[in-house]
Amino acid sequence: MASFAQMLKQAQKLQKDMENAQAELATIEVEGQAGGGVVKVTVTGDKKVKDITIQPEVMDDVEMLQDLLKIAMNEAVTKATEISEQRMSGLTNGMSVPGLF
């Protein structure tokens, strides 16, 4: 019975550590950009869009603007995903835990 109690305690600690890591990820910001910086997208570590900056010179070409936004968003989300995976894998010792990140 002692080993079950110990496992339960470890699981509770892991849950608390993961909650703390999730809260920390929400404070981290990464940026993706496209077109030499004419479009910039800032995303938090928990993959929420924080800011979008568009320089006026690309406002006249809707198709180009759409493409630049996609590129910048994908870059920012990729960076946020990498940070999230690094932080969480440190907590789980590299073990994948479905649904957590």
Q: How confident is the model at residue 94 (pLDDT cuts 50, 70, 90)?
A: low
* pLDDT computed for residue 96 by the predictor: 55
| Type of residue numbered 7 | M
Q: May I ask the CATH architecture of the domain 2-91? A: 2-Layer Sandwich (3.30)
SS3 33: strand
Q: Is the pLDDT of residue 2 over 80?
A: no
Residue 5: burial class (beta carbons within 10 Å; 0-12, 13-18, 19+): exposed
Question: What are the sequence ranges of the domains in the chain?
Answer: 2-91
Q: What are 49-80's pLDDT values in tens digits?
A: 999 999 999 999 999 999 999 999 999 999 99
Phi, psi of 44 (to 5 degrees): -80, 165
Residue-wise burial string across 74-85, b where 16 or more C-beta atoms lie within 10 A, e elsewhere? ebbbebbeebbe
| The model's pTM | 0.75
